[in-house]
Amino acid sequence: MIGLIDSGEGGIITAREIRRLNETLDLTLLLDRRNAPYGTKSESELTELTGNNIERLLSLGASRVLIACCTASTVWNNLPEGQKKVSVPILSPTARRAESVTKNGRIAVIATAATVRSGAWSRLLFPLRTTELALGELVTLVESGARDGKITDTERKNLEKLLSPLSGSGADTLILGCTHFPALEREIKEIVKKYGIRYTVSSAREGARELIRTLTDTSGHGRTVLI
Ligand code: DGL
């Protein structure tokens, strides 16, 4: 069984991407709605929650755990090896994908406040020029049901306002650095194209691809894939 961790909808969005690639994979979702949102939590709270969630899935028999939630995975990523309850390799398929699609070397990232505070994306993308924008409101929008093809005019206007700080970024590529955000990928794409941003990279999609890519690697029982 493969375990997947997220704070809510982002886990379902990632699981859907995994299902597109592998319909039969034995998947257990741990959606920690009780402690959501993760994006407003402190580093120590997130470390504690993530460690407990990983242990829980391993105790249920997971052979591998995917920390789909970018907020949890960036905190885990930054943690010194000795402080981790479970040792993990650091994989960053979303950053690698963004590096390969950008033509001008400038990447914009939208993520939760905790992820932006961690500085993880800028480090992963260095030496590319990165503009990070904290958009916790977008998590709330998705949790309240907004989706591509299912969004009110007021919600769309709100989304436009939230994304407007990206207008001067000069980026041609946008990372959806929170697994909730791909729920509105089409809408986001339409808005940011006015700012010259041509490509979007979804953390949910890249995490799913990385999981499937590394499934055949049996060396790491309990290994955790970070996105
Ligand atoms: N989906 C999570 C992420 O990828 C965060 C959502 C939340 O704030 O709970 O960062």
Nearest CA to ligand 1 atom 8: 39
**Cα of 135 to ligand 1 centre, how many Å?**
10
Compute how many other C-beta atoms are within 10 angstroms of the C-beta atom of residue 36: 19
pLDDT confidence tier of residue 186, bands split at 50, 70 and 90: very high
**Cα of 227 to ligand 1 centre, how many Å?**
12
Q: Which structural domains are found in the chain, ordered by start?
A: 2-91+205-226 (3.40.50.1860), 93-203 (3.40.50.1860)
Give yes or no for residue 199 CB within 6 A of ligand 1: no
**If you write DSSP's letter for every residue of 16-79 in order, what string do you get?**
HHHHHH-SS--EEEEE-GGG--STTS-HHHHHHHHHHHHHHHHHTT-SEEEE--HHHHHHHHHS
Give yes or no for residue 31 CB within 6 A of ligand 1: no
Enter the tokens of residue 54: 């990983």
Phi, psi (degrees; rounded to nearest 5) at 23: -75, -20
Inter-residue contact 120 to 77 (CB < 8 Å): yes
Pocket test for ligand 1, best of 4, 5, 6, 201 (most atoms within 8 A of CB): 6
90-146 tens-digit pLDDT: 678 999 999 999 999 999 999 999 999 999 899 999 999 999 999 999 999 999 999
pLDDT confidence tier of residue 215, bands split at 50, 70 and 90: confident
Inter-residue contact 175 to 197 (CB < 8 Å): no
Crossing angle of helices 9-21 and 136-143, rounded to 10°? 80
pLDDT higher than 80, residue 219: no
Give yes or no for residue 180 CB within 6 A of ligand 1: yes
Q: Which residues pair with 163 in a beta bridge?
A: none
Give yes or no for residue 39 CB within 6 A of ligand 1: yes
Give the residue numbers annotated as catalytic, written as ranges.
69, 178
**What is the distance between the alpha carbons of residues 105 and 29, in angstroms, rounded to a whole number?**
35
The residue-averaged pLDDT of 39-44 equals 96
Owner of token pair 């049901």: 145
Inter-residue contact 4 to 27 (CB < 8 Å): yes
Opening angle at CA 27, ends 25 and 33, nearest 5: 155
Instruction: Specify the ligand 1 atom closest to the Cα of 39.
Output: 8
Lowest mean pLDDT among 99-113, 171-185, 203-217: 203-217
**What is the distance between the alpha carbons of residues 19 and 118, in angstroms, rounded to a whole number?**
30
Percent of the chain with pLDDT over 70: 93
The 3-state DSSP class for residue 178 equals coil
pLDDT of residue 78: 80
pLDDT confidence tier of residue 224, bands split at 50, 70 and 90: low
Give yes or no for residue 10 CB within 6 A of ligand 1: yes
Enter the tokens of residue 76: 């885990």
**What is the distance between the alpha carbons of residues 32 and 18, in angstroms, rounded to a whole number?**
19
Task: Indicate the DSSP class of residue 3.
Answer: E
Opening angle at CA 71, ends 102 and 10, nearest 5: 85
The residue-averaged pLDDT of 166-184 equals 97
